[in-house]
Each structure stands twice: as C-alpha cells, then as structure tokens.
Chains A and B, each alone.
Chain A
Amino acid sequence: MKNGNIHIRGWGAVTALGWGASEGARRLIAGDVRPAGICGSAHLVNREFKAFEVPDDGNPLEKSLKMLDASITEAFERGGLSASEIAESALLVGTTGGIFIRNEHEFTESVRQNPGRESPPIVCRNRGPGEVADVIARQYGIRGLPITFSMACVSSSHALVVAADLIAQKRIRRAVVVGFEPLLNLTLQGFASLLLYDPDECRPFCNRRMGMQIGEAASCLILEEGESAAADQSGFWFAGGHLYNDNRSLTSAGTDGEMVRGVVARALLKAGTDPGDIVAVKAHGTGTRDNDLSEGRGLAKVFGDRLPPVVSLKGVIGHTLGAAGTVETALWLSCLDQGVIPKSFGFAETDPEIGFAPSQENLPAAAGAYLFTFFGFGGTCTAYVIRKMAS
C-alpha cells in the first residue's frame, strides 16, 4: 500500500557518535569519528572484540535504559508532542536482545562480588523482547497498542514499514517506533562464532572488507498521519516502503543481487518514485563479503549507470542489529536537517564485483527522495523511501 501522507514528526538516536541524533550528525559531518575499539563496559567477558560503544561511566543496565530514554526524549522534544499525543500513540519496537543486558549485568556483578569462587550458571529472567515495549509504555504513559518485532537486523526497519502501513490503513494515527540494542556478550560472541568480524575496521563495499563490527544504540522515530504544522516543521515524509522475507537462505540475501533488486524496485513503486529521482541511498552496507556483494549488485541492477551516491553508516557506528533501521534513519535525517549527505567511512578500494565506490565526500542535501535499505538474518529485507521537502 502507498504511504504518501505520513510525515516523520520527530526522531532521536544515541550511538557511539553521541547522546543524540543531532550531536551524532554534527560529528559525522565534521569527520569527528572514532574507529571501533576494545570495549570497557564491566559486563563484557571477552576483551578481544572491537565494537562501537556508547561512551558512559554507569553500569551497563542503567546505561542501556538511559540510552533508550535519551533517544525517545529527543524524538518527543523534536516533534513537540504533548502528553495526550504521546498517550494515544501506538508503540512499535524493534529489538533482538530486549533487556537481556539485565541478565548479563547481574551475572557479571555476582561474579565480581565473589572473587575466587567458581561462577554459577547465568540465570535468565528477562521476559522476552516484548519487555522493552512494556517498560517504555509505562515510563511515558503510552496507551496505544504496543507491538515488538524481533526479526534480527531488520527488527526496527520492519517496524517502521508496518507502522506506516497501519497508519495508511487508518488503524492507527501515530506511531512511536523504537529500536533498541545494547551491547551484549550474547551477540558479540555469537557473531564471533560465525567468523563474521573484521578485526581491524568496518569497510562497507570495500574490496578489502572482511566483516562487520557491532555497535550499540537506541533510537526513536515518530510517524504521523496527515499534514500539520508539525509536518511542515519536520519536512520529512515517509513515501512508502516494502518488507519481504525470502526463504532460500538463512544467512544470505543471494549474491546475485536479484532479491535486493526486487525489494528495492517494489519499495520505489510503493513510494511512487522512479529510480532516477533518488537523491542518495542510505545502504545497509555491513562490510561482510556477502551482504555488500548482494546489495551492491542489487543496487547496480536497479539504478544502472545512474547510481546515486551510496552511503553506509556502519563504518562509524557499527552494525546496531535490530536497532539499525531507526538508528540509521534518525542519524541520516539529522544529517539532512543540517544540510549534508554524509560520506561513507571505511572505504579504500573498489570491489570489481560490486563495481562502484560508496560516496567519499560530504554532499549538499538536496530536497527529494532518499532510499533506505536493510537486510538481515533469515532472508529478511526492508526498503523504504523518505522525502525531504524543500525548506
């Protein structure tokens, strides 16, 4: 279904770049970024993995909840939502780990407080991914329908498309869409067991790329139906999107690029946008061999020799997994808001199989349509188009 009458009223994001989408965008545009590093959080049991950690001195559970709070507050303040508007909103959350950080924090604390003793088995007492929505709803008094999507790396991007679909169907009027992914031993060790890390840096679309690096983040977008003063102020419209699940491979989007081509083409159709109208692509660009090959070939098939600037943000914030959809969208919108399409970091050499280089310089952010792509474990893909109105 088409989503042409939905504006993005507010957004916020906490990433390794800072405690707000605006701050993160400023640093990204200025090139004030740091590579992934060995993480300092007390709950991490292995110090070998580099990741993009949100700077903070607190304990990991409190920090994670603070990230969630900061991103939602930023979105509410940017959108100028009243308490009654917040209360009547639907709440859609995308997360894979939920509040599993509580288990990891409690376990490592119990070990730390009992030096010399053999550590007990970890107790898992979190209530599943849906607990995040429950915490948010109670904290902010959100009384609309809560739904949590736990769909690996497309969790929050799928949530955004579903939110837009529900608004288009007049089932809801406004959606608070949240992505949340604290840094977990579970995921750090998990992707390590799959041998998917680049030990040096995340290099999206680069011929020297060796894998991904994980980042932690929390983020929030507010989608709302119809035109209003808030819509004029935001200047961003959700034009349309498409979510799709393939069933051929659990781990790959198909390196021929066909599935990517199909999903992007369908998203453009739903958004009523021709490929030639796309100003720039915020690509998924994980830095893994297969993902970037699938995506690169798919984008080349869609755009041919008129490929717009392609940017991956994972070279500066890492792969924020289930939160990637809302995090990267929020950060991107803040960059556009500051008048800039940011450059892609971590690139050195064109992969002949991909055949293009991601954008290597900051560009002026023109009004028009921007394409966002996300791919995940389990054959999942999301693509959507957001329009920036002329100021």
Chain B
Amino acid sequence: MAASYLGPALVPNADAAWDEAKLPANPDELVQKMMGQPMRRAGRFIKLVCCGALACMSRVPEEALRGRNIGIFLATGLGNIDEILPFITQVFKHDGGFPSPNQFANSVSNSAAFFLAKFCGIKGVVLTVSQEELSFESALWLAQSYLAAGEIDLALVGGCDVFTPSVEDYRERLNLAPGRYRRAPLGEGSGWLLLGGDGEMKIGDILSVEFSSGLTDAERPSSDDLLKYCEKQFEELRHKMESPDDGCNPTPLSFPRKRESTEIPKKLDSRLRGNDRENVTKLFLPGFRLSDMNEALWQKNGWEMDDYLIACGISSTASACGLARTLLSRRRTFLVHGNFSSSGRPALIAAATE
C-alpha cells in the first residue's frame, strides 16, 4: 500500500547526498517535522525508526487504516547500538561511571518498536527481528506469514540501522572484510513498507521472499547462478499470469536448496502477461554483499542494475531502503533484490511495481 525510505541525509523519500565522514546527522529537525514534537529522551535509532515508519504511514489516508489490525515487524541488524555504546562506556569508565537509567531503558532491544506502536496506536503483533544483513528479509517473510494466516490485516514492515562512530568500528560490526562487500560508503537508513489491504491503493506486490540453505562461502551462488534464477523466476511468474488456473505455487526452481518462500499472489494484474511483458523493466537490486556481479551478462539478458546504495549507503538493513525506493519509483518493474549473509546464505526478494 505504501513505502518510504530515509537515508543518511535524513530527507524522506529522496536521494539526498551525504558525507560518510560527517555521519551521523542530527535527526531532531526531522523528528519535529514528522512527529510534531521532539523526542528528547530517545536515541537516534528510536527516532529514525519512528520517522521512517511514519513517513510510510502518512502516505495512506487515515480511513484506510481505521479499524484494521496492523502488525509491526521491525528489522534491525545492530539495533539501538547508539544507546548501548555510551551506556557500556559509562559502566566501564576508568574511575567509575554513572550509567543513566533512561539510556538503559532506551537501549533495550524492543524500545523502538514500542515507541512506534505507541505513536501509531498499534497493539497486538509487534515484533523486533534481527538477523544481521538478512534482518529485513526475515521480517518481510514473517510478516507475509502472519498476513497469509489472517492474524493481521496489514503489516508495517521496516528495516532500520544507525551509523555509530567510528567508521572502522562500524565496518567491523558489519563484518565488512575486504572482498566481502561492494565498494560503497557506509550509511544508515530506515526503509518501510505497508503491506496488505484490498488492492485499491496498491503500489506493487511482494511476490516472494526466498532463503537458500547455504551455510558457507563455497555454497554461495555465483552472479551467473543468480541471473539464471532471476530469469527463471521471471518466466515462472509470467507463466503463472498467463495460466492463472495452474494454481499459485511455483514449481521448484533450480536455485540451490530453496527452503523458505512465500506464495505468489493468485491474482496479479496484467503487467507480466503477453505483449505487456515487453514493456516491463527487469531490475536487479544488488545487496551490499554482492561484490562480484557480472553486470555485462545481466545487461545482455535485459536486466537493469539499480545501485540503491547511493541513496542509503551500507547498513545491515539497507535492503529495506532499496526496496522501498524502487516501489516508490512508479516504474513498471519486475525486480529482484539479492544479498548474502556474511556467512554465505543468500536471500532474494522478488516484487513487481505498479
């Protein structure tokens, strides 16, 4: 139904420039604008979670949300590390420090989700999920499970991680060893999607969220494997659109050891059918772990690459910003976002925009 993203420059839904060396930016002006009040006691993580999510919710009229059972699925790789660091520094201070109770309260892992739920008036399913660089993918998969089971009407799903100095420490927390990430500046962001609804306000479909079972680098699919997978996924979906009576479950794909996936929506519009197919852009969004993409081959097969990291930089949940940014682009697109965990487990999100 809606999407939003916030990058390091803290300008909602815009690719604003930022300087890695000057991070992090002060979010108080944005907080005042988005929330209508300051959040004096909250840390940056809580502020960015709330601002990013409210930027998404504010794109939907209130009447579309009224009476709906909404679940919150907050994904974060590092969580409120901005509160934990000063607190633990006080604890370990050489001559004895005075840790602040407020700082500890804000450092508790689900504080941000609580404040967001409070601002949005949401009760019920409110989950904080963390799985390193696949946190957002995990939250999205979980949200789709709860939507499919009818436990909730709508799912507010987002990923947020904040930059904490120094650059070297942040790099280590993200496990950015040489050769294990694409060259891009470090960043932060808060990307959100509002999923569900009856389709009237639809801006796109999340078609599938898939995790492979690979556990080691040796099992990582190559760029060519990914391309084959994406081509097959696209053809599979197109076939489904043209033969909707075949059921909604895709046949097994050749992507290595496919484990967990969502179901393809039974009714998609005509975007991927027949002649319209030629007008659909095939877009691949490479996550920050994909350092060895054979872009020439992808382009030869009709795929465009969107390096969304120019909008948000590297963070554990950058994929949330990338996906939201594409869904907001209003291009007719079939897209796949791909990334690996640092230990080699791949995850892919397939989506189609209106």
Which residues of A are at the interface with B, using a C-beta cutoff of 8 A?
A: 1, 45, 87, 90, 96, 100, 103-104, 107, 118-119, 121-131, 133-134, 137-138, 141, 143-152, 155, 158, 162, 165-166, 168-169, 171-172, 185-186, 189-191, 193-195, 243-247, 250-251, 322, 376-380
Interface presence of B122 (CB below 8 A):
yes
Residue B259 is within 8 A (CB to CB) of chain A in the complex: yes
Contacts of B79 in A (CB 8 A): 128-129, 150
Instruction: Please judge, given known A-B contacts A144-B259, A152-B109, A247-B123, whether A128 and B77 are in contact too, CB under 8 Å.
Output: yes
B84 within 8 A of A: yes
A152:B110 contact, CB within 8 angstroms = yes
Shortest distance in angstroms between B2's beta carbon and chain A's nearest beta carbon? Answer: 21
Q: Does B124 touch A at the CB level, under 8 Å? A: yes
Q: Which residues of B contact A (CB under 8 A)?
A: 72, 76-79, 81, 84-85, 87-89, 91-92, 94, 99-101, 104-105, 107-111, 113-115, 117-118, 121-132, 134-135, 138, 141-142, 145-146, 148-149, 151, 169, 172-175, 211, 213-216, 257, 259-260, 316, 341-343, 345
In angstroms, how far is the closest chain A Cβ from the Cβ of B124? 6
The 5 lowest CB-CB distance pairs between A and B, nearest first, are A143-B213, A245-B126, A190-B104, A150-B109, A378-B114
Q: Are B128 and A145 in contact (CB under 8 A)?
A: no
- Could you say which residues of chain A place their CB within 8 Å of the CB of B127? 149, 151, 158, 162
- Are A190 and B124 interface neighbours, CB within 8 A? no
Contact of B87 among A104, A158, A186 (CB under 8 A): A186
Q: From DSSP, what is the main secondary structure of chain B's interface residues?
A: mixed
| Chain A residue contacts of B104, Cβ below 8 A | 189-191, 193-194
- Residues from chain A with a CB closer than 8 A to the CB of B259 are 143-145
Distance (whole angstroms) from the CB of A312 to the closest CB of chain B:
22
Residue of B nearest to A96 (CB): B109
**A119, A149, A158, A169: residue with the most chain B Cβ atoms closer than 10 Å:** A149
A121-B89, A125-B169, A186-B91 in contact; A96/B108 too (CB < 8 A)? yes
B88 touches A148 (CB 8 A): no
Chain B residues with Cβ below 8 Å from A121 are 89, 92
B138 contacts A145, CB within 8 Å?
yes
A165 near B131 (CB under 8 angstroms)? no
Which residue of the partner chain, among A104, A126, A169, contacts B173 with CB atoms under 8 Å?
A: A126
Judging by beta carbons under 8 Å apart, are A134 and B124 in contact?
no
A92 to chain B, nearest CB (A): 10
State A380–B128 Cα separation when bound (angstroms): 11
The answer to whether B132 touches A247 (Cβ under 8 A) is no
Minimum C-beta distance from B349 to chain A (A)? 14
Given A128-B78, A143-B215, answer yes or no on A194-B128 (Cβ-Cβ < 8 Å). no
A-B contact pairs, 19 of them (CB 8 A): A121-B92, A122-B88, A124-B88, A124-B173, A128-B130, A128-B132, A143-B214, A165-B151, A169-B149, A172-B260, A185-B92, A186-B88, A191-B104, A194-B104, A243-B125, A244-B123, A245-B72, A247-B126, A377-B110
Q: Assess the A138–B215 pair: CB atoms within 8 A.
A: yes
Contacts of B72 in A (CB 8 A): 245
B108 pairs with A127, CB closer than 8 A: no
Q: Is the CB of A123 within 8 A of B169?
A: yes
Beyond contacts A124-B84, A146-B345, A169-B149: 17 other A-B pairs, Cβ-Cβ < 8 A, are: A1-B151, A103-B88, A104-B88, A119-B92, A123-B169, A130-B77, A145-B259, A146-B131, A172-B260, A185-B92, A186-B84, A190-B107, A245-B126, A247-B121, A250-B105, A378-B126, A379-B117
- Contacts of B260 on A, CB cut-off 8 Å? 90, 144-145, 171-172
